[in-house]
Structure 1
Amino acid sequence: MAEHITIGDVAPRVQYVADGVLAEFAYPFPIFEEADLEIRLDGTVLTGGATISGAGASEGGSVLLAAPPPTGTRVTLRRRLKIARATDFQNNGVLRARALNDELDYQVAAIQQVADDVIGTVRVGPADGGALVLPQRGARANRVLGFDSNGDVTVFDRGTATLGVPFVGGIPRTVEDKLAERLTARDFGATGDGVTDDGPALAAAMAAAAASGRVLEIGEGSFRTTQPLLLGGGAAGLVMHGSILYAGLGGQAALTLGDGAAVRNAAKRYEGLRVVRATISDWEDEADIGLVMRNLDASFVEIRQVEGFTIGVRTLGVERGFEDSTLVLGRIVNNRIGLDVRTETAAAWNTSVRYYGGHFAIGSTVHTDKDRFGVRLSAAPGAYVAHNRHLFDGPGFELQAKDRPISGIPFLVEVSSRSVWARALRMEGCSPHVARHTGAAQDHVYEVAWASQAYLVDVDYTSTATRVGAVVRASHQAAAFREASREVAAVPNLRAARIRWSNTEWGFEKLACLASNVSGAPVTLADYAFPALDAFGFTDNGVVLTGGRGLGFVVDARNCREFALAVDADAPRLAVMCFDAYRNVLTDTGAPLVRASGQSLVWNASARWWQGSADMADATLTRPQVVRLAPQVAYAIIGLVRVADNYEVRAMRLGCDPLFAPSLLYGQPGLPHGARELVAEAAWNPPAIAAGGSAQTSLPLPGARAGDFASAAFSLGTSGLVFLAQVASTDLVTVTAWNRSGAEIDLGAGTVRARVVKA
């Protein structure tokens, strides 16, 4: 040292918080040499990589680091001296002031160092005095350290009931019981640093929670595991503040909650669940699952994040039900199937569950050639398939399938579910289908609050689907319009609507008469839609369908796919005939051309119609029927037929989605059915008619029969002439012009018109 330093009243330690820019930091206390300065970055002692200046200066100096520490790093500079005397004064030697000052300075600096260390220790306050002395090692081993009634240090047995809350009514509990009130993963050695394999520690913690009936807490951090984890149903619940990072083998569930078999896992509470796969699955193995929950009943589950698996979350009934629970969903990302609602056995069920929220999303570069689905309702082979009463509230789907030859559909329904409702859902970049049904699901309601596909959002019924009847409510500023219902046709009283076509044949207003065995070689719609047939019976209230007879509405189905048929009848049987764009009849080719909502349809080859497999009955919930037609069906006859027993029909109505206004076909050229009034016209230049004389002409009028009411008119002024009409013979009307005046009348060329009204 060039000159002796002065040790002032300055603490031998200083701290800074790095800003990521500065690399030089000052220390305001003196050091004797560079080795006396300790440099710590966030608690780690820095060895090398720093230039120290100012050693031996009373005012201190500075440290220049090789690189600026990252932002937020705590930089600690402190003086650390060896507590030792390195010099000695010789007997009868010269006592130099410099040497003495240096020794005293070193002693003062060492005392300051000790004082700084003492500041961070637990010590008796100045007013207490005395000393706190630890009991002997043997006395304190495996015991709890505490204070006695005098405030002195003592030890207690771990089972001693001496701890309690400072409130009235508080009951003292053992320390061990208090400490074990909630188990944490870190109690078993889990680190949560995202690098260490915490799998064994997490498994041990979960086993302890299940055995003790406690809630397990997984704290902040990323807990990496290479083994699948199971929290048995004995645990009261799970609270996660951090996440599980699964880095194990594929083909297994990363985290399973609850017991399988026939065990009922009731009243559980799982909060903050986060399970992330270290690398995204190849989406090939459906056993690769992020989170499985088994047999939950009356439980609450909050899922914050599940990412990167073939199946993100699976709710599973295993020889018992998954039911009456509430799930709050967060980010369900980059899974081929986000949520799988499933049953495993014939004795299991999955029903009555509420789902709130959920962001089901796929990254734009993730498996761009593979189908993906937000929610799937499924069952293992032979398992129970009636997944009923599920409510999804406000889910969002961002599936990255638009303009790609893949399916990205929010709901995939493979079971015979009923009453599954999805409210206010959002579709972004999805296929133009809100759901795909592959089985006998019905009575689903999909309410689309917003979709990038705009209005034309539909349900995709595959070739294996045996039921229809799902409702899609797409808003897009048309909500009020779509909540209305459109009636295509109505015959409120079939008895009053009957038309006497001939002495033996009857027809009905707006309806075509159907026969189960049409003679000849029928091909077109006109060959099957008869205006009238015999063998109908009548009561005071309606018409009785007897063997081989039926009634139906003929509709233009080129734009509208679904129709709803409602009837008032005893035990009616649904029937649908299908025709192509050229009105040629379509027959069964393997893939069904028509499906119904409440029952299966079977092909009747001789009649060439699809007929219901059961009667439309209130008791079996098949009375109202929605009929969905395949895209190749352009025209259809939708109605009722007699299959087994005669039955009475009193009223029939046909409706559809108000977005469409399909045409009801009847009473037109080539399709005369359903019309009570028939008309015909022709050009006629009657001759001059003498006073009191008459002239006649005949008009072909298909459907005209003897006994029909007939009338006629002429297109020119007919003062003095009376036009009369009568059915001369089948399909022919005779018009007579009678001159009742006293002079000859020559009308000239015009158009004669005849009308027949059937009784």
Structure 2
Amino acid sequence: MAAEHIRIGDVAPRVHYVADGVQAAFTYPFPIFAEGDIEVRLDGLIQMAGYAVTGAGESEGGAVHFYEPPPPGCAVSLRRELPVARNTDFQENGVLRARTLNDELDYQVAALQEVKEGLGTALRLDPSEAGGATTLPLRRARANKLLGFDSAGAVTVFDRDGASLSLPFQGAVPRTVEDKLAERLSARDFGAVGDGAADDGPALQAAMNAAAASGKRLEIGEGTFRTAMPLVLPGAAAGLSMRGAILYAGPGGRAALTLGDGGTARNAAKLYEGLRVLRATVSDWMDENDIGIVLRNLDASFVEVRQVEGFTIGIRTLGDERGFEDTTLMLGRIVNNRIGLDVRAATAAAWNTSVRYYGGHFAIASSLHPDRDRFGVRFSAAPGAYAGHNRHVFHGPGFELQAKDRPILGIPFLCDVSSRAVIASAVRMEGCSPYVAHHSGGAQDHVYEVAWASQGYGVGIDYAPTATRVGSVVRALHQAAGHRESVREVAAAPNLRAAAFRYSNTETGFDRLACLSGSVSGTPSRLPDFALPGLDGYTLVNRGVLLTPGRGLAFLADARNCKEFALAVDADNPRLVVQCFDIGMNLLTAEANGPLVRASGMSMNWSPTARWWQGSADMSDAALTRLQVVRLAEPVFYALIGIAGIGDSYEARAMRLCCDPSQAPAALWGMPDLPFGRRELVADLAWDPPSIAAGGTAQANVPLPGARPGDFAGAAWSASTSGAVFLAQVGATDVVTVTVLNRTAAPLDLNPGTVRARVVKA
């Protein structure tokens, strides 16, 4: 008959194996009460899964079955580990069953075996010794000392510099303890307390000076280190590691923590980890010298910022008299700062380029300075400093700027410089202004991918009056991302040579395009005065048209709702021109309305003579400006967007006008009040022809604006015309003469009807 309870033999509750890479089951010879009573280790690491246990409740033990055999040479340790607890109780005057009592005694014996096994591996006196002083000295006596034994074998302490240590590995050499402990510098080595109350500033600065003098990395451990003075870690230090926080309670208008040297120094391959800098009282946001962390002249370095809070500027990356470049920043909580991150150049010799940023939670408390603008990331430069920041890449930043429904700006990116190739992906916007960026300088080729905007509003770029470039892109993934990935064509002239037609004996017109003149005579003031159906001075060549100085071609775009267009041109060094009109089609001039047009790759200048805005340079492949984005100001309701000859003649072959696919603006041409861009013209005239004798004719003159002698002409009659032939020709400007020939041998009397004249320009 099977035993009713586990029998606890004199077997050690631990067994060890060395795996061969094939064996998957390993036996344990000691009993366990439940599967969870066994501890499994591989190479010393406790395993929580990846195996099954059999044999629980058996006196002879069982086995551990790994789902995958441990690798060859792996140390496999199986050990019984029982919870020290009693879960049963015997009732007074109750039945005391032998099995229950045996189970309790078995459990106690098993637990005692574990205690015995543990004591066997502990540091202890030999049983032959009668005892001794094994109590540790008091804390203040053993602080900064080495633990050892005196001549009597009793526990004592020694000075650190009087002993040496060596690692238990082949090739290790003995070193003094002082040398070993000096491998790393700790702020507490210099007296820093970290209790949030004592002024640790002098101790922290002494530690930072020591790190620079020794070229070592400084550690600031757990705790809150209050300082009443700004701190500087020179560039000679290898780096800084923080597990606690610096609480700045010093004077305003200063940087709480500066890392790296300024001037022309190059601070390369630095490692700054776990940075946390908090301001004791939140800044009033008025002084931009009030900064949490300044990082100077870093190159090929790694920076992890866990938290910066309460400053006018949270973090500033600064190219001083040298650059800041090729560095990675891991960003955490950037909270309650007017500007979270300031990317800046200080001098004309500096630069700030090619930097990667990961994460970053830029947030503002709802009650903090509710009347002041705030920004997440700013690109800036000191007066006269280098302003061409480029290739900054942001991954997944989040912005909670508390600006929605307030008369302030709360915008993630502020670009005050001529930055290029700034790319931000997976941006989160919560309670921000309806703009992902504000551009006040010559920023271009920025790409902002907005993954989430809490209110679902349309997200764009806000251009200040001082902005000189446009053409950056917002990819609003939170609103019909698939639709926005395409481009909408507004109008196209894919072949200018084929689009050209003879408007008159001396003038040339173009399908869907307005002809422009740089010197319209008289006192023109409205759109029809400038959008001409035909002009002389165009020379047609085999593949296009030669635009001479003073001649241009343009699409007319309805800009009432859409303000941004892209013009693509195939031409030899063309020049961009834009003419603007209000809702009544009245010309808008720069003198009365300020800057009305901006372009992506060049400045736009007002020409009083031509009465249009023209690019400051030719569009050329070398300058990467062949594709131009045009941004129109709010007063502009209609715009002629095209190219013109300014200084030299050049050949133009094709033009296309596009816009954001979320917009569908009209391209206008060939209308009664805008008669340009059409080579086919039609007009009707009510007519009651007289009786026509046999073989005789009758004529009617049909007014047709735009008709010119030499145009192909045709005519038709609205009623039955049996026996009559209608002929047409342009006998005079704007008039088509229609002739009716009676081919019968009898008089012909047509009923009243409508004569339709049609001309086609070759």
Show the counterpart of 2:758: 755
Residue type of the partner of 2:707?
Answer: A
SS of corresponding position for 1:496: helix
CA contact (8 A) 1:124 1:131 kept: no
CA deviations on 1:530-569 (whole Å, 9 max, x unpaired) are: 1111111222121111121111111111111111111111
SS of corresponding position for 1:177: helix
Residues in 2 aligned to 1:131 and 1:513: alpha-carbon distance in whole angstroms: 107
Could you say if the C-alpha distance between residues 142 and 395 of structure 1 is closer, same or farther in structure 2, counting changes exceeding 3 Å?
A: closer
CA contact (8 A) 2:444 2:469 kept: yes
Show the counterpart of 1:110: none
The Cα shift of 1:434 comes to: 1.0
Could you say if the C-alpha distance between residues 396 and 749 of structure 1 is closer, same or farther in structure 2, counting changes exceeding 3 Å?
A: farther
Could you say if the C-alpha distance between residues 369 and 133 of structure 1 is closer, same or farther in structure 2, counting changes exceeding 3 Å?
A: closer
Show the counterpart of 1:32: none
The Cα shift of 1:245 comes to: 1.0
Show the counterpart of 1:621: 624
Could you say if the C-alpha distance between residues 753 and 319 of structure 1 is closer, same or farther in structure 2, counting changes exceeding 3 Å?
A: same
CA deviations on 1:381-420 (whole Å, 9 max, x unpaired) are: 1111000000011111111111111111111100011000
2:739 to 732, 736, 739: 736
Show the counterpart of 1:162: 164
1:557-596 paired onto structure 2 within 5 Å: 557-587=559-589, 588-589=591-592, 591-596=594-599
Show the counterpart of 2:49: none
Tell me, which stretches of 5 or more residues in structure 2 are unaligned?
Answer: 1-122
Could you say if the C-alpha distance between residues 204 and 681 of structure 1 is closer, same or farther in structure 2, counting changes exceeding 3 Å?
A: same
2:208 to 206, 209, 228: 206
CA deviations on 1:409-438 (whole Å, 9 max, x unpaired) are: 111100011000111101111111111111
Show the counterpart of 1:648: 651
Residue type of the partner of 2:532?
Answer: F
Residues in 2 aligned to 1:142 and 1:508: alpha-carbon distance in whole angstroms: 92
Residues in 1 aligned to 2:226 and 2:552: alpha-carbon distance in whole angstroms: 69
SS of corresponding position for 2:207: helix
CA deviations on 1:98-126 (whole Å, 9 max, x unpaired) are: xxxxxxxxxxxxxxxxxxxxxxxx99565
Residues in 2 aligned to 1:540 and 1:702: alpha-carbon distance in whole angstroms: 30
Show the counterpart of 1:368: 370
Show the counterpart of 1:19: none
Residues in 2 aligned to 1:306 and 1:668: alpha-carbon distance in whole angstroms: 61
Identity of aligned residues (%): 71
SS of corresponding position for 2:203: helix
The Cα shift of 1:674 comes to: 1.2
Residues in 1 aligned to 2:383 and 2:189: alpha-carbon distance in whole angstroms: 42
The Cα shift of 1:214 comes to: 1.5
Show the counterpart of 2:678: 675
The Cα shift of 1:311 comes to: 0.5
Could you say if the C-alpha distance between residues 152 and 173 of structure 1 is closer, same or farther in structure 2, counting changes exceeding 3 Å?
A: farther
Show the counterpart of 1:340: 342
SS of corresponding position for 2:468: coil
1:223 to 207, 225, 241: 225
Could you say if the C-alpha distance between residues 170 and 723 of structure 1 is closer, same or farther in structure 2, counting changes exceeding 3 Å?
A: farther
Could you say if the C-alpha distance between residues 708 and 179 of structure 1 is closer, same or farther in structure 2, counting changes exceeding 3 Å?
A: same
CA contact (8 A) 2:132 2:154 kept: no
CA deviations on 1:16-41 (whole Å, 9 max, x unpaired) are: xxxxxxxxxxxxxxxxxxxxxxxxxx
Could you say if the C-alpha distance between residues 214 and 729 of structure 1 is closer, same or farther in structure 2, counting changes exceeding 3 Å?
A: same
SS of corresponding position for 1:495: helix
1:500 to 497, 502, 515: 502
1:29-108 paired onto structure 2 within 5 Å: none
Show the counterpart of 1:713: 716
CA deviations on 1:711-736 (whole Å, 9 max, x unpaired) are: 11223333433222110101100122
CA contact (8 A) 1:292 1:314 kept: yes
Could you say if the C-alpha distance between residues 531 and 386 of structure 1 is closer, same or farther in structure 2, counting changes exceeding 3 Å?
A: same
CA contact (8 A) 1:455 1:476 kept: no
The Cα shift of 1:265 comes to: 0.8
Residues in 2 aligned to 1:459 and 1:384: alpha-carbon distance in whole angstroms: 24
Could you say if the C-alpha distance between residues 571 and 124 of structure 1 is closer, same or farther in structure 2, counting changes exceeding 3 Å?
A: same
Deviates more, 1:181-190 or 1:305-314: 181-190
Show the counterpart of 1:179: 181
Deviates more, 1:608-617 or 1:531-540: 531-540
* 1:242 partnered with 2:252: no
CA contact (8 A) 2:133 2:155 kept: no
Residues in 1 aligned to 2:681 and 2:401: alpha-carbon distance in whole angstroms: 57
Residues in 1 aligned to 2:243 and 2:380: alpha-carbon distance in whole angstroms: 31
Show the counterpart of 1:695: 698
Residues in 1 aligned to 2:565 and 2:377: alpha-carbon distance in whole angstroms: 27
The Cα shift of 1:694 comes to: 3.2
* 1:610 partnered with 2:613: yes
1:598 to 598, 601, 618: 601
Could you say if the C-alpha distance between residues 718 and 252 of structure 1 is closer, same or farther in structure 2, counting changes exceeding 3 Å?
A: same
Residues in 1 aligned to 2:451 and 2:145: alpha-carbon distance in whole angstroms: 63
CA contact (8 A) 2:434 2:457 kept: no
Could you say if the C-alpha distance between residues 503 and 323 of structure 1 is closer, same or farther in structure 2, counting changes exceeding 3 Å?
A: same
Residues in 2 aligned to 1:175 and 1:207: alpha-carbon distance in whole angstroms: 23
SS of corresponding position for 2:205: helix
1:8-47 paired onto structure 2 within 5 Å: none
> TM-score by structure 2 length?
0.80
1:443 to 427, 441, 445: 445
Task: Compute the RMSD of aligned alpha carbons.
Answer: 2.4
Residue type of the partner of 2:379?
Answer: L
The Cα shift of 1:217 comes to: 1.3
Could you say if the C-alpha distance between residues 476 and 682 of structure 1 is closer, same or farther in structure 2, counting changes exceeding 3 Å?
A: farther
CA contact (8 A) 1:432 1:453 kept: no
What is the number of equivalent residue pairs in this alignment?
A: 634
Residue type of the partner of 1:398?
Answer: E
Residues in 2 aligned to 1:684 and 1:279: alpha-carbon distance in whole angstroms: 90
Could you say if the C-alpha distance between residues 131 and 220 of structure 1 is closer, same or farther in structure 2, counting changes exceeding 3 Å?
A: closer
CA deviations on 1:638-679 (whole Å, 9 max, x unpaired) are: 111111111111111111111111111111112111111111
Deviates more, 1:734-743 or 1:656-665: 734-743
Residue type of the partner of 2:448?
Answer: Y
1:311-350 paired onto structure 2 within 5 Å: 311-350=313-352
SS of corresponding position for 2:529: helix
1:104-183 paired onto structure 2 within 5 Å: 129=131, 144=146, 146=148, 158=160, 162-183=164-185
In our comparison, the structure showing a higher alpha carbon Rg is 1
Could you say if the C-alpha distance between residues 208 and 573 of structure 1 is closer, same or farther in structure 2, counting changes exceeding 3 Å?
A: same
The Cα shift of 1:322 comes to: 0.7
Show the counterpart of 2:427: 425
SS of corresponding position for 1:203: helix
The Cα shift of 1:168 comes to: 3.6
CA contact (8 A) 1:573 1:614 kept: yes
> TM-score by structure 1 length?
0.80
SS of corresponding position for 1:339: strand
CA contact (8 A) 1:455 1:474 kept: no
The Cα shift of 1:591 comes to: 2.7
Residue type of the partner of 1:679?
Answer: V
The Cα shift of 1:133 comes to: 12
The Cα shift of 1:687 comes to: 3.3
2:383 to 381, 386, 393: 381
Residues in 2 aligned to 1:150 and 1:327: alpha-carbon distance in whole angstroms: 57
Residues in 1 aligned to 2:691 and 2:199: alpha-carbon distance in whole angstroms: 113
CA contact (8 A) 2:400 2:429 kept: yes
* 1:410 partnered with 2:409: no
Residues in 1 aligned to 2:233 and 2:614: alpha-carbon distance in whole angstroms: 52
Residues in 2 aligned to 1:453 and 1:743: alpha-carbon distance in whole angstroms: 81
Show the counterpart of 1:287: 289
Residues in 1 aligned to 2:407 and 2:646: alpha-carbon distance in whole angstroms: 44
Tell me, which stretches of 5 or more residues in structure 1 are unaligned?
Answer: 1-121
CA contact (8 A) 1:684 1:750 kept: yes
CA deviations on 1:347-392 (whole Å, 9 max, x unpaired) are: 1100000111111111110000000011000001111100000001
Show the counterpart of 2:199: 197
The Cα shift of 1:751 comes to: 2.4
The Cα shift of 1:621 comes to: 2.1
The Cα shift of 1:164 comes to: 2.5
Deviates more, 1:262-271 or 1:689-698: 689-698
Could you say if the C-alpha distance between residues 719 and 174 of structure 1 is closer, same or farther in structure 2, counting changes exceeding 3 Å?
A: farther
